[in-house]
């Protein structure tokens, strides 16, 4: 009887603390299983459909958006498809692992598996680290992982979220020397020249959307491989900037923040008016060669944009 009572008490305590955690909005850690396939494919790099010999994760530049919550276990597998010609790898900036064992190259037809705990919340870069790394990144092997804070109230709630990843385009994907000498032709957001800018490119069919007064959260990654970004919203002000996306690293009322190659930050913006902001790298050769994203603020903003599959707009 005593034993039963003790067990009951333990069970009740566990139940009550679980109830407390749920009512406090604290999520229990889970396992996020992710498999990415290295694929060497041709992809369009502008709104006209000009093709480029890319190297990718899952045939996309940028690669798929990975999302976990602080404290989660990420169970990760990289498959290097057997019809590829090159070794590939992955380097997750959200992970604390062994650079040789876990981030080392994988030959075509082989795969690699590792597990890490997402200990820090934020926005983190992932990329291929196979030699020569500069070429694997320049050809498209990059992406983003969002690690949401364990405490859902750590940051103000975003009404919409977007991911923008900056990278340079090197016209000849086989010429590593051009990459070493920084001879890029264009800077892009999400793998396309003026991809979200119908002002500079009438062929652009997509742009970002929100309503005036909404908090728009932009997860920004600079994939490089070489150029710094001076990330600025023309005709707007960043309400909050979180360095590395960590809620503890907060700045207020910022016009821009320099984001180096391989770095990432979270930028919140709220427009008090209808109209548009042009999000750029204020390093102007980069902006004027392709790194401009228009965000339109309208009461009729598409409710799907900035949610689900429309966070990283393809």
> In the set 54, 128, 165, 218, which binds Cu ion (CB under 5 A)?
128
SS3 6: helix
Residue-wise DSSP of 65-94: PEEEETT-EEEEEEEE-TT-SS-B--EETT
What residues contact residue 217 under an 8 Å CB cut-off, 6+ apart? 158, 160, 161, 162, 266, 267, 268
C-alpha neighbours within 13 Å on the C-beta side of residue 251:
16
Is 179 among the residues that bind Cu ion (CB under 5 A)? no
CB of 169 to Cu ion, least distance (A): 17
Q: How far from chain centre, in Å, is Cα 222? A: 9
CB of 227 to Cu ion, least distance (A): 20
Question: How many whole angstroms separate alpha carbon 33 and alpha carbon 91?
Answer: 16
Does an H or E element contain 294, and which?
strand 292-297
Beta bridge partners of 196: 293
Sign of the alpha-carbon dihedral angle for 107, 51, 168, 68: negative
Antiparallel, parallel or unpaired: β 31-44 and 292-297: unpaired
* 136 touches Cu ion (CB under 5 A): yes
- Residue 257 found at the interface with Cu ion (CB under 5 A): no
148 forms bridges with which residues in the sheet?
A: 69
By CB under 5 A, what part of segment 66-125 binds Cu ion? 88
Number of residues that bind Cu ion (CB under 5 A): 5
Residue among 141 and 276 whose Cβ is closer to Cu ion: 141
**Could you tell me which stretch among 26-34, 129-137, 239-247, 255-263 binds Cu ion (CB under 5 A)?**
129-137
Q: Is 206 in the site for Cu ion (CB under 5 A)?
A: no
Cβ 182 to Cu ion, closest distance in Å? 20
Stretch that binds Cu ion, among 130-138, 164-172, 175-183, 269-277 (CB under 5 A): 130-138
Q: In the bound complex, what is the minimum distance in angstroms from residue 128's beta carbon to Cu ion?
A: 3
Cα–Cα distance measured from residue 233 to residue 226, given in angstroms and rounded to the nearest whole number: 22
Q: Which is nearer to Cu ion, 104 or 212 (CB)?
A: 104
Asked if residue 39 binds Cu ion (CB under 5 A), the reply is no
Q: Which of 141, 179, 187, 294 binds Cu ion (CB under 5 A)?
A: 141
Site for Cu ion contains 37 (CB under 5 A): no
Whose Cβ is closer to Cu ion: residue 118's or residue 128's?
Answer: 128
Structure token pair of residue 195: 């991809």
Q: Is 130 in the site for Cu ion (CB under 5 A)?
A: yes
Binding site for Cu ion (CB under 5 A): 88, 128, 130, 136, 141
């Amino acid at each position: 009887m005593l034993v039963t009572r003790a067990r009951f008490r333990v069970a009740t305590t566990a139940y009550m603390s679980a109830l407390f955690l749920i009512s406090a909005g604290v999520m229990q850690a889970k396992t996020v299983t992710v498999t990415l396939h290295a694929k060497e494919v041709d992809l369009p790099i502008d709104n006209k459909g000009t093709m480029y010999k890319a190297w990718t994760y899952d045939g996309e530049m940028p690669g798929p958006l990975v999302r976990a919550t602080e404290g989660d276990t990420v169970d990760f597998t990289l498959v290097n498809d057997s019809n590829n010609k090159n070794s590939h790898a992955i380097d997750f900036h959200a992970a604390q692992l062994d650079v040789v064992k876990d981030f080392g190259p994988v030959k075509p037809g082989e795969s690699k598996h590792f597990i890490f705990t997402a200990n820090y919340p934020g926005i983190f870069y992932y990329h291929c680290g196979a030699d020569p790394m500069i070429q694997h990144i320049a050809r498209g092997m990059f992406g983003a992982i969002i690690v949401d804070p364990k405490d859902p109230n750590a940051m103000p709630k975003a009404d919409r979220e977007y991911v923008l990843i900056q990278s340079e385009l090197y016209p000849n994907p086989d010429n590593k020397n051009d990459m070493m000498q920084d001879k890029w032709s264009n800077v892009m957001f999400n793998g396309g020249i003026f991809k979200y800018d119908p002002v500079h490119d009438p062929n652009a069919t997509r742009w970002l959307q929100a309503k005036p007064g909404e908090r728009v959260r932009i997860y920004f990654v600079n994939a490089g491989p070489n150029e710094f970004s001076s990330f600025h919203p023309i005709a707007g002000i960043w309400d909050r900037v979180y360095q590395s996306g960590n809620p503890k690293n907060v700045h207020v009322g910022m016009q821009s923040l320099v984001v180096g190659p391989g770095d990432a930050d979270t930028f919140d913006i709220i427009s008090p008016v209808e109209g548009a902001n042009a999000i750029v790298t204020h390093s102007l050769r980069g902006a004027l060669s392709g790194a401009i994203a228009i965000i339109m603020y309208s009461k009729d903003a598409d409710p799907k944009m900035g949610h689900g599959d429309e966070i990283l707009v393809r």
